[in-house]
Amino acid sequence: MRIRFLTALAVAFFAAHNSLVAQHDVIDLVLPTDNDALFHGDGSEFYQYVDRDYHGEKSTPWEGGQYGFVRDPVQTAAGVVYTRFHEGIDIRCLHRDANGEPLDEVRAIAAGQVVYTSPVAGYSNYGKYIVIEHRWDGSPYFSLYGHLSKIDVQIGQKVERGQPIAVMGYTGTGINQPRAHLHLELNMIINDRFQAWYDRFYRNEPNHHGIYNGINLDGIDIARLYLELHKNPSLTIPEFLAGEETFYKVTVPRSGYFELPKNYPWMVQGDAERKGKSWEISFARSGVPLKIEPNDKKVSRAELTYVKPSPVDCSLLFRGEIAGRGTQAHLTEYGQGLLRLLTFPD
Ligand SMILES: [Zn+2]
């Protein structure tokens, strides 16, 4: 009798506990091709190598296919610094026909809706690419599949997790048949009024991609996300991004239009209702925004208010937004322009 009572109590407890856990959407990602070597091996079987020419010394390091600052090494007094950022991961080809053409089927990494396809290879460095929107806990995220040879879905189409959407290829700049691979990103979106900002800053280049232009999409560390979800399937994106280090902070004037906190309300720290004079935004080294805090500092344009101390000049550490070192570090004109996108039109 007593045991039965305790069992009933335990069942009630776990039911309540489960309903608490179920408040979050589960991010159940599948890899987009047959290549699953991310979960075993040293990376050389999973990542597509890059062709490197370092002072005349040629090599093909697979490390260059990873996410992050993995390309264009530069020798500095503080050691070698990899100066070029790779916003996604390059997944190696497994299947080819007799002529060496890639055959790997490309699949949606999670359920979602196709929001963009770019079928003209020459319109982007991504070549032919697809963008799929996913909604997790109400926030939009965008998986991007680049360098495709063939696109099998249409804009507006709903797709299931693992559904075939394309065939791997080598479209886009700087890729050839031996280096055929899938470039995969998982992004947050910056501003749905991207076109107005683009028209201001890129007057002479047409934007073929609407709000799904790579400039308006910020790629998170998707390989680390796969690996951490493998260990902890209930991980959320805010929990995941809490593991990213803040490399710099920028204070921007308070604006009537600021979409980021609407899409990603969990980024806002402190009292979101407080009418401060500005916002201070924390960024990962990648430029991915991590945190937004109301602030009382009065600024007329974006101002760098913190940068992680380093012996290396900021122009080598970031993506062109910051130059200088120590107390001399500052936003570049390019950085100013990019930060305007956050609150455009202000
Ligand atoms: Zn890539």
Q: What's the gap in Å between 217 CA and the centre of ligand 1?
A: 15
Say how many C-beta atoms besides its own lie within 10 A of residue 118's C-beta: 23
Q: What's the gap in Å between 66 CA and the centre of ligand 1?
A: 8
Tens of pLDDT along the chain (346 residues) come to: 454 544 555 545 444 455 455 589 999 999 999 999 999 989 999 999 999 999 999 999 999 999 999 999 999 999 999 999 999 999 999 999 999 999 999 999 999 999 999 999 999 999 999 999 999 999 999 999 999 999 999 999 999 999 999 999 999 988 999 999 999 999 999 999 999 999 999 988 899 999 999 999 999 999 999 999 999 999 999 999 999 999 999 999 998 889 999 999 999 998 767 778 999 999 999 999 999 999 999 999 999 999 999 999 999 999 999 999 989 999 999 999 999 999 998 7
Full-model pTM: 0.92
**For residue 142, what are the β-bridge partners?**
133, 187
pLDDT of 1 reads: 43
Q: Are 172 and 124 in contact (CB under 8 A)?
A: yes
Q: Are 169 and 102 in contact (CB under 8 A)?
A: yes
pLDDT of 270 reads: 80
Q: What's the gap in Å between 165 CA and the centre of ligand 1?
A: 18
Q: What's the gap in Å between 262 CA and the centre of ligand 1?
A: 29
When computed from its CA atoms, the radius of gyration of the chain, rounded to whole angstroms, is: 22
Q: What's the gap in Å between 280 CA and the centre of ligand 1?
A: 31
Q: What's the gap in Å between 82 CA and the centre of ligand 1?
A: 15
Q: What's the gap in Å between 65 CA and the centre of ligand 1?
A: 6
Q: What's the gap in Å between 118 CA and the centre of ligand 1?
A: 16
Q: What's the gap in Å between 48 CA and the centre of ligand 1?
A: 9
Residue whose C-alpha is closest to residue 109's, from 30, 167, 170, 47: 30
Question: Residue 184: phi, psi to the nearest 5?
Answer: -120, 130
Give Cα 105 to chain centroid, integer Å. Answer: 22
Alpha helices for the chain (secondary structure H):
2-21, 194-201, 222-231, 237-241, 260-263, 314-317, 333-340
Q: What's the gap in Å between 2 CA and the centre of ligand 1?
A: 61
Q: What's the gap in Å between 157 CA and the centre of ligand 1?
A: 25
